[in-house]
Structure 1
Amino acid sequence: MNRRTLLGLTATLPILAARAAPAADGGPLHPGPGRVGPTNLITDVAGLTIGEAHDARVRTGVTIILPDQRAACAVDVRGGGPGTRETDALTAGNLVRSVDAVVLSGGSVYGLASADGVAAWLGARGRGFTMSKQPGVPPSPIVPTAILFDLANGGDKNWGLNPPYRDLALRAMDHPSRRFDLGTAGAGYGAQAGALKGGLGSASFVTADGLTVGAIVAVNSLGSVVVPGTRHFWAGAFEMGREFGGLGASTAHVDPEEWGQAKFNPAARANTTIACIATDADLDADDLRRVAMMAQDGLARAIRPVHSPFDGDVIFALSTARRPLPPGPRPLYVARLGALAADVLSRAVARGVYEATLPPGMTGPTWKSLPG
């Protein structure tokens, strides 16, 4: 960057700041206090339903994020051992950057087959991408998918040539709903968050100017979600009300290499936190890419350590485009929504572990079994 360009940017920034600065009654940066959505679930974002199913014998499950119609989408991958399907379709410059559904699944590589069931269900209903409709030619549903490792949790994985994930996805698609279970449910059924039982979490936030951001996450991390020696969630500072116990932020000082309730003996692909952010704000795929990137900081606020070589952390971000952006510079709204996405995702992580219970026959600690 040459000196003239730098001087030009320096001169421009105060002008942008002045245009964006909130008036006495609010403005683009902070129009006033917002609130938790009516259900505190990702489905507070208009135009979304969730399908989920699990198999208690296998100790695994599937969660499907289903927009009412095709939705702009982006993805950000930070973990060192990810497992994904169709994420390349969301790359800038490619033909298709919208989706018909997003899938989060247990089962490691076997769980990628859950997208087969979702694609079949959508295609049978005429939903999917097509350049031009032709008789006898089905559409091509776009169903990006991310998986977590739950193969070593003691469930019966002797499935031979018939892993259950396609069938689980079809079951989940039979009853998509705006209401769904948290904790030991869906993709979080067999999850383990550090040394504690992991699970499926969700949260939402509605801004004062009416934009909604929601998150859903399956927490199966190497890292711990609680401050060492306490029951306080790392995400405690972002808690709304008593949504995950009401303990608030911890005042403990932690040694840089004290990981507390993290997993011992980590293994590649044995850990992963997979999530989807949604908003009703009319953002395009490039905007959503930035939102997904910013949302990754929500994992860093809620899990320690995170994005390790042993995790496969993946975050999708999609827009149902139900609400136009209010007047103001577009990048400021992207920044606001990305910051909110990080906070909402932190809360969703804590909620998933807070709500987790042990499936039949499984032993080990849960958050609610911690002393104190």
Structure 2
Amino acid sequence: MTAPGKRNLITDVPGIRVGQAEDSAVRSGVSVIVPDRPAIAAVCVAGGGPGTRETDLLTGGRLVQGVDAICLSGGSAFGLAAADGVASGLKAEGRGFALVPSEGVPPTPIVPAAILYDLANGGDKDWGEVSPYARLGLAAYRDAGEAFVLGRAGAGYGARAGAYAGGTGSASIVTKDGITVGALAGVNCFGSTFMPGTEAYWAWPYEIDREFGGIRPPEGFTVDPDDWGAAKANPALGQNTTIACIATDAALTQEEARRVAQMALSGFSRAIRPVFAPFDGDAVFVLSTGRVDIAESRPFMVSRLGELAASTLARAIARGVHEANHGGYGEV
């Protein structure tokens, strides 16, 4: 049957590792998704206040299509420096793109990135002339492995999800024909992940094996279209965002990966209300490791992968918030 992978993490996708690092004084952190070899990648940005790096490379028709890592970070625009640290770690291992390999000329690591805003969470942001994010990015890269912490960890370490603690969440699904889809999200949304007046998550219909508490809405529950529940009451420009990465072992072209990313956006709307607001920077990356051929019925398979990505992302978002508010400090 279709079911989560062994860890119920994005690292159930073969060839994908995740590393994380945090600074408790700053109250911020970094998550990095590292494929074992350059992976086809795409991105879709839906929020009104995004902060990204290297996303122009993922728009199609560019020289480089494979990426060496995806970096998700706190810190607003300062957090984009985390990708510098990731690139340093990749360079040290000789990874990166080289049009014509030449002695003495290092390959250039390709590290697209996105950030969320956690500058107003009470942490010590008086770091002087050099932010901690390049250091955190390198530490996260060196930490990359199959197991990692959910909840108050990584990019979601200092996040808020509406009126509750936000966090880093992940989930996976493996199909009967052997395709794996995984998601990782740093949840710092303006909107609420809970149904108004309840402890039930908006994403509850997609939950598997009580992975975020198994709470269901009361019988007869109805929704007032203008009741957002526990959203952030007084949002400020740029102080919100959910950033995410989908990974799959299905072999996709960059254009197909972009379609999966567009479909995956519905995972945000299944888990957060409201979403894609002017003060959110919501963005989702898609990585394809290319290990499983989908040569037959490609448009159908892309549609199928997009739906699996959306439901898995909704689960990852709810799981990140659940772990941040109910524990989530140990490895999964």
TM-score (norm 2): 0.96
Where 2:31 maps in the other structure, the secondary structure is strand
Instruction: Give the ranges of 4+ consecutive aligned residues of structure 1 lying more than 4 Å apart after TM superposition.
Output: none
Q: How does 1:1-372 map to 2 (within 5 A)?
A: 33-248=1-216, 251-325=220-294, 328-357=296-325
Contact 2:167 2:321 in 1 (8 A): yes
Contact 2:191 2:228 in 1 (8 A): yes
Task: Give me the whole-angstrom Cα distance separating, in 2, the residues matched to 1:228 and 1:220.
Answer: 18
Residue identity over aligned pairs, in percent, reads 58
Contact 1:85 1:112 in 2 (8 A): yes
Where 1:139 maps in the other structure, the secondary structure is coil
Contact 1:97 1:285 in 2 (8 A): yes
Contact 1:65 1:102 in 2 (8 A): yes
Where 1:356 maps in the other structure, the secondary structure is helix
Q: How many positions carry a matched residue from both structures?
A: 327
**Pair member with larger Rg:** 1
Task: Give me the whole-angstrom Cα distance separating, in 1, the residues matched to 2:33 and 2:154.
Answer: 11
Contact 1:237 1:249 in 2 (8 A): no
Contact 1:45 1:214 in 2 (8 A): yes
Give 1:342 deviation, angstroms: 0.2
TM-score (norm 1): 0.86
Cα offsets for 1:283-331 (capped at 9, x unmatched):
1111100000000000000000000001000000011111112x63101
Unmatched tracts of structure 2, length 5 or more: none
Task: Give me the whole-angstrom Cα distance separating, in 2, the residues matched to 1:93 and 1:252.
Answer: 48
Task: Give me the whole-angstrom Cα distance separating, in 1, the residues matched to 2:191 and 2:143.
Answer: 33
Cα offsets for 1:143-198 (capped at 9, x unmatched):
00000000000000001112110001111122211000000000000000000000
Cα offsets for 1:311-363 (capped at 9, x unmatched):
000000011111112x6310100000000000000000000000004xxxxxx
1:15 maps to none
Contact 1:234 1:249 in 2 (8 A): no
Unmatched tracts of structure 1, length 5 or more: 1-32, 358-365
Alpha-carbon distance change, 63 to 253 in structure 1, aligned in 2, over 3 angstroms: same
Contact 1:231 1:367 in 2 (8 A): no
Cα offsets for 1:22-48 (capped at 9, x unmatched):
xxxxxxxxxxx4111110000000001
Q: Which amino acid aligns with 2:97?
A: F
Contact 2:160 2:167 in 1 (8 A): yes
Where 2:304 maps in the other structure, the secondary structure is helix
Cα offsets for 1:48-99 (capped at 9, x unmatched):
1001000111100000000000000000000000000000011111111220
Contact 1:91 1:97 in 2 (8 A): no
